[in-house]
């Protein structure tokens, strides 16, 4: 498959990593009709995909040898390095001209390292960072940011159209995940700002339900945050975007800024609260910082209006 040859429904896809987003993206692709081979460390996660006709690989190398395109959605840089660069890695089994679409939120340097390693074995690797919740993934309404060769990115439209509502080419390798760090930094800071606003409002005597309902309808709350107020109203912090992953992303943002001497004081403050909440070890949504700020402010003890 040449770099500018378009991917079609006949292209055989391999998918590695069936976590919160990965499983939903893979199901969208299988339902669209792509022949698929999937792999996850936890083989039980593949059940729904098998029902859609996917084959389960015993290891990443087996998957890679059978497909034209490898997609992966993994938790962090270390997992990406293990899959692509470690023992029995994907690149060691990939056929020439295989395409890799790395969907994970990782550092720009790791994305560039993967790109360089892929080129050495005549494989094309692009970083296509994913923005959106699990509900967005289920609906095929994600936003994608791409980095790498433009022709490879543009030839992948058939995959993108099955999982996303919009996608943007951002530039050379590493640019896709760089844009994701920009977006997720804003996402995390915005969530902390909302948590503080909610705590303040309750402390000033505003009824909690009315406060959260009204705040969600104002122009200052982004659509990505509005739904979090509805679930927080019910004290429901079931993970759509786990706080441990937001914690990881805050770390990536601050690490990316450091070499440039860039101070991000608001991000640092938001990251500290996020980190404290993540230390509970409970698998909750990143919006759980709302509850934390309410508790810190003693908002639950505020006098009635």
Cβ–Cβ < 8 Å for 289, 242: no
Question: Over the stretch 238-288, which tens digit does the pLDDT of each residue have?
Answer: 999 999 999 999 999 999 999 999 999 999 999 999 999 999 889 999 999
Residue-range domains of the chain with CATH: 13-173 (3.40.50.720), 180-300 (1.10.1040.10)
What are the tokens at 203?
Answer: 């402390």
The total of other beta-carbon atoms located within 10 Å of residue 301's CB is: 9
Lowest mean pLDDT among 50-54, 88-92, 196-200, 227-231: 88-92
Buried b (16+ CB within 10 A) or exposed e, 151-185: ebbebbebbbebbbeebebbebbbbbbbbbbebbb
Alpha-carbon Rg for the chain, nearest whole angstrom, is 21
pTM score of the predicted model: 0.92
Average pLDDT over residues 205-228: 95
Question: Over the stretch 24-69, which tens digit does the pLDDT of each residue have?
Answer: 999 999 999 999 999 999 989 998 899 999 999 998 989 999 999 9
What are the tokens at 294?
Answer: 């309410």
């Amino acid at each position: 498959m040449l770099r500018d040859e378009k991917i079609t429904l006949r292209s055989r896809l391999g998918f590695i990593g069936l976590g919160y987003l990965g499983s939903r993206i893979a199901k969208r692709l299988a339902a669209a009709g792509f022949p698929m081979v999937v792999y996850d460390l936890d083989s039980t996660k593949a059940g729904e995909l098998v029902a859609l006709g996917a084959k389960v690989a015993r290891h990443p190398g087996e998957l890679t040898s059978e497909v034209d395109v490898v997609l992966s959605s993994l938790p962090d840089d270390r997992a990406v390095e293990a899959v692509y660069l470690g023992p029995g890695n994907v690149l060691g089994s990939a056929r020439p001209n295989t395409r890799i679409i790395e969907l994970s939120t990782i550092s720009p340097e790791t994305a560039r390292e993967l790109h360089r390693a892929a080129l050495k074995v005549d494989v094309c690797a692009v970083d296509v960072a994913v923005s959106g919740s699990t509900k967005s993934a289920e609906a095929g309404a994600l936003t994608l940011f791409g980095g790498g060769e433009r022709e490879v990115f543009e030839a992948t439209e058939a995959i993108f159209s099955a999982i996303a509502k919009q996608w943007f080419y951002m530039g050379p390798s590493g640019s896709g995940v760089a844009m994701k760090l920009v977006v997720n930094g804003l996402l995390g800071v915005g969530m902390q700002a909302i948590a503080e606003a909610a705590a303040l409002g309750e402390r000033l005597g505003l009824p909690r339900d009315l406060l959260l309902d009204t705040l969600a309808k104002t122009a200052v709350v982004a659509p990505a945050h509005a739904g979090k107020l509805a679930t927080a109203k019910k004290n429901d912090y079931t993970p759509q975007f786990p706080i441990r992953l937001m914690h990881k992303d805050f770390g990536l943002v601050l690490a990316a800024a450091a070499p440039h001497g860039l101070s991000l004081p608001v991000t640092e403050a938001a990251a500290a609260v996020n980190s404290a909440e993540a230390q509970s070890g409970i698998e909750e949504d990143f919006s759980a910082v709302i509850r934390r700020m309410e508790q810190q402010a003693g908002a639950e003890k505020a006098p009635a209006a």
